Amino acid sequence: MSEQSPPQTVPPRDLPTAADVVVVGAGLAGLACARQLSRRGIDVVVLEASDAPGGRVRTDVVGGFLCDRGFQLLNPAYPEVRRALDVGALRLQSFPAALVVTGSRGRQVLADPRRSPGLLPLTAAGLVRERTGSWREKAAFVRWALEAAQKDPERLLSEPDLPWGEALARRGVDGELRNRVVVPFLAGVLGEDAGVTSHQFVQLLVRSFVRGTPAVPWRGMRAVPEQLAAQVPSIHYGVRAGSAGPGLVRSEAGDIQARAVVVATDPSSATALLDLPAVQSRGLTTYWHAAPEAPTRSGALHVDGERRGPVVNTIVISNRARSYSPDERALIATTVLGGDPDLSTERAVMAQLGEIYSRPTHWWELVRRDAVPEALTAMPAPLQVRRPVALGEGVFVTGDHRDTASLQGALVSGRRTADAVLADLGLPAVPREPLRTR
């Protein structure tokens, strides 16, 4: 199937004065909600302050390189992804189910033997080495990972929850393996390295990792919201909502009366518009570097087992995602914790990258730096999987902060909110689409 064209901007002067539903924000949750409502025949209008859909899921072309708004991956195993998206049309470029752990004593490759069988010898050799942790800790980790991968989600969520750091310590994952592998890897996934995120949420993530191979679309992550936006008839870009309340949305482009209003902005904007309790977020910063040649042939994620600097992970993304580079140069994505870096952080990143890849980095060019203060919604223990989306008087809120911090959570939240809107309007929900084959 050919790729869909990017959605066209609707001039603000065409803003209607009334609609059945107004959705404020064209991120994944807002688009998923509007898509469902449109399938039911509802007159829905989407307002988006920026010039394109996606919210945090965006891609910019910088000097020919595809740079997502922070390092992001799509897991095609997510059920809602397979329902809402034509995954085949995305032309996914997959990454190996492997992790490279580096340090002053060399590097180790840890891979899933089922999906990366060619890396099994390297994985076995790495596990035999004592510096990956004691055999007791390795066995405890394997038991924990298998349990998370095989456990039914409903049963998993019914059990008592703890911060993941405490939960792993109770299971005996508390030595070199934890410090060199588990913490550096999870830091980039969760946006924190203190072990405070919900253990239930971490188990859900591990379950999804085992069931799917992370990838990026050929056109970058922007292809995901663009595909959703192509199914929504009326999206107005460059329109920022000043207020949103029962029956009315005000903006600089005009006011719209509506039977229902859905706020689908970022967490801080949503809480400000609706006077809701603040939502805690985790910040991440991604550095995109171009190098004359790739510092490694591996397309796997690299972490520094000795944590010699601010880098939590790095990857030569163009080794597996060829479309991300316009020529033979390599594109490297590197992530650090926090969404407010300074020049000293950048210098430390370059020094650490030289150690991680065992290559000089002074010829590398900084293509872009993405500092995203609200990159991930915090998921503390005890995990609250579902937060209310219906606020009363025809006002609704949607986003991954109402479900779980993931693409899956954003899409589910959008669908769940659409169902709530339809119920409020006295209409039946749209039947759930079947899971498409991958």
Average pLDDT per run of 10 along the chain, which is 438 residues long? 44 81 98 97 97 96 97 94 96 94 86 57 52 83 89 91 97 94 94 97 92 94 98 96 97 96 96 93 97 97 96 98 98 96 93 97 96 96 94 97 96 98 96 77
DSSP 8-state secondary structure symbol assigned to residue 380: B
Distances (CA, A) of 426 to 220, 308, 421: 39, 58, 9
53 CB burial (10 A radius; 0-12, 13-18, 19+): buried
- Amino acid symbol at 123: T
88 by DSSP, 3-state: which? helix
CB 29 within 8 A of CB 400: yes
Q: Are 375 and 56 contacting, i.e. CB atoms less than 8 angstroms apart?
A: yes
**Alpha carbon distance 277, 373 (integer Å):** 18
The model's pTM is 0.92
d(CA 36, CA 232): 9
Q: What is the pLDDT of residue 13?
A: 53
How many Cβ atoms from other residues are within 10 Å of residue 98's Cβ?
19
Q: What does the buried/exposed string (b/e) look like for 254-280 if buried means 16 or more CB atoms within 10 Å of the residue's CB? A: eebebbbbbbbbbbebbbebbeeeebe
User: Given the structure tokens 């997959």, which residue do they identify?
Assistant: 94
Q: What angle do CA 178, 102, 168 make, to 5 degrees?
A: 10
- Residue 302 gets the label, from left (phi > 0), alpha (psi -120 to 50) or beta, of beta
Q: Which residues contact 333 (CB under 8 A, 6 or more apart)?
A: 71, 286, 287, 288, 314, 315, 317
Angle formed by the axes of helices 199-211 and 183-190, nearest 10°: 100
256 vs 191: CA distance, rounded Å: 38
